[in-house]
Amino acid sequence: MEQNLNELKEIMLANPNLDRRIKSDAWSVSYNRRADMVLMGESFPKGSFYVPVEDGVLVRIGKNKKIYGFAIENAKSFIKRNPRGVGLALSFIVYPIRSMLFTLPVLFITYQAARMRSILSVSDFFAARTTYAV
Amino acid sequence: MLSWKILHRFVEGMNHEPVVWFEEDYLAVRDGKKNHTGHLEIETHFKTVREAIENPNEVRQDRNEDKRKCYYAWFSGDKDYSNQHMKVVLEHTWYGKIRVLTAYFTAFFPEGEETIWNKT
């Protein structure tokens, strides 16, 4: 346990610019439905392997401890255990159709709200004009 | 569309039950998806995958899914990979077969998996 933690600390220290790399290398994310596993990162080169982090989360590193990506085992149960935050973000990848059913009403409401706002602003404009005219 | 073509057959080492690896499952693990390389080790180290299933050092219960069991074989390293475990996840399916879900090299055992069988 202690050894694992030390290993993870070493990996963290060996990747100080991870955030920048994630953006510059345009890491991608995909869901392997048949293995129930979410993969994210760049291409995993020969020689790279996983180090378990916690709760089904794995980090893929090379021999030089460079991080090539992450994986989440048992993605569906991970989402159930973490319904907020990371789990919520992953649910869009794991359940794209269900997420679409969720996002469409939100978009619809946003659209309706925006439409209503535009109507109200025109109405306000009209009211202001008419008041000024009077 | 689901493909049921069996690419590899094994006999697992704990209860000596037949195991299959469907072609589509194998390709999904090996190739990953767009912009990803999957787990190349299942092709380059297929012998170690077979050893993990047929002659494992340790079998552990998956921490979240009752139907999934993790088979481990120790790999002593080569020019590409350091010494570590080959982990193979097997699933008992609703249609009665045991299938390979995924396989990969891992540095150590994850927390929360309970050992249900070992070679010694």
Is residue B73 within 8 A of residue B92, CB to CB? The reply is: no
Q: Which residue in B35, B69, B70, B105 has the most chain A C-beta atoms within 10 A of its own C-beta, making it the best mutation to test that interface?
A: B35
**Rounded distance, CA A36 to CA B67, Å?**
13
Residue A91 tokens read as 């649910």
For residue A69, the cross-strand partners are: A41, A60
Q: What percent of chain B has pLDDT over 70?
A: 95
Q: Higher model confidence: residue B44 or residue A35?
A: B44
Place of tokens 């912009």: B35
For residue A116, is pLDDT > 70?
no
For residue B48, is pLDDT > 90?
yes
Residue B78 tokens read as 């080569």
Give, for B31, the enclosing helix (H) or strand (E): helix B23-31
Residue A117 has what pLDDT? Answer: 59
How far off is chain B from A47, nearest CA to CA, in Å?
5
Most confident among A19-33, A84-98, A119-133 (mean pLDDT): A19-33
- Is B28's Cβ below 8 Å from some Cβ in A? yes
When pLDDT is cut at 50, 70 and 90, the band that residue A121 belongs to is: very low
Residues of A with Cβ-Cβ distance to B20 under 8 angstroms: none
| Interchain pair B36, A36: CB under 8 A | no
pLDDT 10s digits, B75-98: 999 999 999 999 999 999 998 899
**Domain segments of chain B as ranges:** 6-118
- Is B38's Cβ below 8 Å from some Cβ in A? yes
Residues of A with Cβ-Cβ distance to B104 under 8 angstroms: 49-50
Place of tokens 């008992």: B92
Q: Higher model confidence: residue A113 or residue A67?
A: A67
pLDDT 10s digits, A15-59: 988 888 888 887 888 888 888 998 888 888 899 999 998 888 889
| Interchain pair B102, A37: CB under 8 A | yes
Q: Higher model confidence: residue A130 or residue B41?
A: B41
| Interchain pair A32, B33: CB under 8 A | yes
Q: Quote ipTM for the complex.
A: 0.89
Residues of B with Cβ-Cβ distance to A7 under 8 angstroms: 107-108
Q: A98: Cβ–Cβ under 8 A, 6 or more apart, which residues? A: A91
